[in-house]
Structure 1
């Protein structure tokens, strides 16, 4: 792995930890992180009440870059992975949704609820 890739990986892991803490402060319980499926990876799986959120976390170097951090293709990949993971996490008939947490230095994490309506 190149040094640049290692730095990006470390930045992503830090962002996922920050997003998990942010969601916990908002009353969510983190069920899992970095869950891999044949369709792709889900960064965080969180639960609050009767709702399970499959969360994509995006970290960017500047707040301006957050505008381009997430697109329909990325959300579709998360949705496909969530479809595979649903039976594992939504065992009590919980509602599910796809959320996004955007992180940039000097900016409060931005939690976009129900980001994918597929």
Structure 2
């Protein structure tokens, strides 16, 4: 049984490292555009936010997806968006962001490190 778990554990570790590398690439992308990274992997009971950036006067909550192949735009499902939105509300209360406008972005990082950001990827009735 332990032998069968070893490949899964290696895949898990590899995926974790790929996720961290993808988040780093996305953070560098935003910083290269003049945005300020406010938090990485911000955790709340509602969920985790990969990146929180101040882009001009806007607070952007960013879900980062990275992978070895082509990434689909629908890689972020409704439940994941709902968790991200709930965590964002907690962040805004915690960080006292006031009435700063917010948006939800999706950053897709390819195997070559290229970053494709979709601003306002999640339009929410709540905002």
The answer (yes or no) to whether the contact 1:52–1:89 under 8 Å persists in 2 is: no
Counterpart of 2:99 in structure 1 is: 93
Q: 1:76 aligns with which of 64, 74, 82?
A: 82
Paired with 2:12 and 2:74, the residues of 1 have a C-alpha distance of 20
Can you list the C-alpha shifts for 1:2-21, whole angstroms capped at 9, x where unaligned?
11111110000000000000
Q: 3-state DSSP class of the match of 2:25? A: helix
TM-score by length of 1: 0.89
Among 93, 104, 107, the alignment partner of 2:110 is 104
State how 1:13-92 maps to structure 2 within 5 Å: 13-63=20-70, 65-92=71-98
- For structure 1, the residue ranges without an aligned partner over 5 or more in a row are none
Structure showing greater Rg:
2
Question: Bigger CA drift: 70-79 or 3-12?
Answer: 70-79
* 1:15-39 C-alpha deviation (Å, 9 max, x unpaired): 0000000111122100110001111
Q: Shift of the alpha carbon at 1:67?
A: 3.6
- Aligned residue for 2:65, secondary structure, equals strand
Provide the aligned C-alpha RMSD in A: 1.8
Please tell me whether the aligned partners of residues 25 and 113 of structure 2 are also in contact (alpha carbons under 8 angstroms): no
TM-score (norm 2): 0.83
